[in-house]
Structure 1
Amino acid sequence: MRISSLTGLLLLAAAPAFAQDAAAPQDAPDTAFEIELNGAADTDAGNCRLTFVARNQTGTPLDQVAYEFAVFDTSGRVTQIVAFDFGAMVAGKTRILQFDVGGMACGDVSGIVANDAIVCTVEGTENAGICLSSLAARSLTDIQFGI
């Protein structure tokens, strides 16, 4: 995994593991950028590795998309603000990506909230509006995940 900083935030980027067809979030509109928290597993390094299924159903190719997320512990406190870079997402594309939340076991994470679209480039122009307004989130784990 590649780790770098972005505007003072922890940016964790990963290459897609594999692509598969999976059910879309039940309440996601047909024009959504869907992010599903599909799995969470502890690593040997003591981090929580999150597996996301991202689907670009906006009808617009996204040159680059990254979101800022707030991570909550089991007492409801925000413990980290992280940024996950989903990379380029052509229209209709599904990608499976993994990101680590450093220093936390998955059992210590109660929820994750999408705070902002910090990078959203469409045809070479920054356009955070589409990435945030079309975002739909759900979780298939015990960790709550939302907007």
Structure 2
Amino acid sequence: MFRFLRPATAVLLALALTPAVAGNTLAAEASSSTQTVASATTGEPEGPALTLELNELRRDDGACRITFVAHNGLPSNLSALAYEMVLFGTDGGIERMTKFDFGPMPQGRTIVRRFNMPELDCAAVSRILINGVTRCQGAEPRTCEQALTTANRTGIVFGL
């Protein structure tokens, strides 16, 4: 039933098959790597999330109006949500440190909140840092920080 090959024939057969087998293995590894990288770079949060998008900074009657779009993807309503944020100037120095109170955040809902910052030039803001959670009622405060994802439609830096 088994047929023995001469050593020279066995070596030639092994050399002929190696690229095909190696190619299939490499293709499979590349395919799985691509899938892993694709899922890792989609920006989709793993599990429930609070999404906070910096949507716009606009000059309005001597103030800088900052607009956020927020979505509560957590499994529960939040009766109150607030974050402390730091606004940095174009020179890298701190312009303001303030609390943005988003109020109630019903589960599954998207809301828009606008905040007017008196005597602040929007063009002077280069970065907004989310410094921490100041209020998170309806979930553990660490949940409101750990589940937070950010998005940005402006030209300034925004995030944790």
User: 1:101 Cα deviation (Å)?
Assistant: 2.2
Look up the SS of the partner of 1:50 in the other structure: strand
Determine the structure 2 residue equivalent to 1:54.
Answer: 70
Where is the helix percentage greater, Structure 1 or Structure 2? 2
C-alpha separation between the residues in 2 aligned to 1:60 and 1:97? 20
Q: Is the 8 A contact 1:137 1:145 kept in 2?
A: yes
Structure 2: which 5+ residue stretches go unaligned? 1-41
Determine the structure 1 residue equivalent to 2:12.
Answer: none
4+ aligned runs moved over 6 Å, structure 1: none
Deviation per CA, 1:51-89, whole angstroms, max 9, x where unpaired?
110000112211100000000000111121110111111
Q: Is the 8 A contact 1:28 1:34 kept in 2?
A: no
Look up the SS of the partner of 2:91 in the other structure: coil
AA aligned to 1:42 is: R
Corresponding position: 1:33 with 2:46: no
AA aligned to 1:134 is: A
Deviation per CA, 1:20-76, whole angstroms, max 9, x where unpaired?
xxxxxx6241511101011110012x2110111000011221110000000000011
Map residues 1-147 of structure 1 onto 2, 5 A cutoff: 27-29=43-45, 30-44=47-61, 46-122=62-138, 127-147=140-160
TM-score, normalization by structure 1: 0.75
C-alpha separation between the residues in 2 aligned to 1:37 and 1:62? 20
TM-score, normalization by structure 2: 0.70
Where is the strand percentage greater, Structure 1 or Structure 2? 1
Identity %: 35
CA-based RMSD of the aligned residues comes to 1.4
Q: Name which one, 1 or 2, has greater alpha-carbon Rg.
A: 2
